[in-house]
Amino acid sequence: MKRIYFFILVFTTCVSVVFGQKDTKAQAILDKTAAAYQKAGGIALTFGGTQKGTLLLKGSCFYLDCAGIKSWFDGKTQWSYAQQNEEVTVSNPSAEELQSVNPYALITSYKTLFNYRYTGTKTRNGKQGQEIVLTPRQKGEIKSITLSISTNYEPIYIGVQLSNGNIQDFNITSYQTHRNLNITNFRFDAKKYPNAEIIDMR
């Protein structure tokens, strides 16, 4: 399941405002990106690259469809549906567990975990972006993260270099803001999955 939530984890670095060592140019870009993100309301985005999927975000809620797993979180309860075996795991994640799955929980925890620097502009998939490289202050699974931010201060690319040498690429293929999302978008609808086995871990 950790891999399924990997995109959510790295996406949140786009909206983290305060990191370790300050690079003035990078700080200004991150500040404006954070402000744009907070004003965006409901967000619907699609991404490709290493993994393909769809992500909906609003407040503390999210919905993720990626790699055969669909996950809903309404701020309290999380449902994870595995398409392969038609199982739905229901849980009430702890604050610690949400650090790895919830974008808004990660914003706070990531504020002091990275150093960063601005590295100039670069064109990726036909889109030009301002690039920032983030480096973890402590050694772990992630060696570095490259963010490419558009002139509208929206993410267009996230590249993650892992400590084992592998690279995870996420190309944001669409990014729509002010979407009319309500709580039903973030809750599992059993009527749509009549054959699903419910595994309640609460």
Domains contained in the chain, CATH given:
6-200 (2.50.20.10)
- Element housing 78 (H / E): strand 78-82
**What integer pLDDT is reported at residue 1 of this predicted model?**
47
Q: Which residues pair with 116 in a beta bridge?
A: 134
Query: Residue 100 to residues 4, 9, 77, 160, 197: CA-CA distances in angstroms?
Result: 10, 6, 15, 16, 25
Q: Which residues pair with 136 in a beta bridge?
A: 114
**What integer pLDDT is reported at residue 183 of this predicted model?**
96
**What integer pLDDT is reported at residue 137 of this predicted model?**
78
Q: Is the pTM of this model over 0.85?
A: no
**What integer pLDDT is reported at residue 111 of this predicted model?**
54
pLDDT of the chain along its 202 residues, tens only?
Answer: 444 445 555 565 455 444 445 678 887 887 788 788 778 889 999 989 888 889 898 877 889 898 888 999 998 999 999 989 999 999 998 765 665 555 444 444 445 667 778 999 999 888 899 998 888 777 877 788 888 999 998 889 888 888 888 888 889 999 999 999 999 999 999 999 999 999 999 8
Rounded-to-10 torsion of CA 137, 142, 148, 149: -60
Alpha carbon distance 82, 88 (integer Å): 6
Contact indicator for 74, 61 with CB cutoff of 8 Å: yes
